[in-house]
Amino acid sequence: MGTPTATDVARVQAVAREVFDVVGTKWALPVIEAIGVDSPRFGELHRQVAGISHRLLTVTLRQLERQGLVHRTAHPTLPPRTEYRLTTAGRDMHDTINGFCQWSRRHLDEVLAARRRFDRA
């Protein structure tokens, strides 16, 4: 592969923006965190993600699945049983989210002090 073209760069940026738009929604991060390293069923996820409706959980899971972060497995049983797990990309995203959380804990005092200074000015 040679040097990426402007079209290649634009395509990567567009796809990244779409993924970040989904991951940046209110419910995506809690859902990703709730799935974690397990393969929970829909009901388990609904109980773990406090405050999310069935409809919003369904929408969020579909969005994450479309972006390649979540894999859905429907088992042909009665009643139907559906499990969700993070894909390789989803596990990488989970690790990245945990990195941001660690960064937040490490720099919390610094961020709060900067906000106070900014708000006084």
**How confident is the model over 24-53, as pLDDT tens digits?**
999 999 999 999 989 999 999 999 999 999
pLDDT of residue 8: 86
**Distance between CA atoms of residues 14 and 10, nearest Å:** 6
Return d(Cα 73, Cα 56) in angstroms, integer: 19
Total-model pTM? 0.85
Query: With contact defined as beta carbons under 8 Å apart, do 8 and 18 qualify?
Result: no
Structure token digits, residue 13: 């940026």
Tokens linked to 76: 């042909």
Residue 69 to residue 88: CA distance in whole angstroms: 7
Can you tell me the mean pLDDT for 92-109?
A: 94
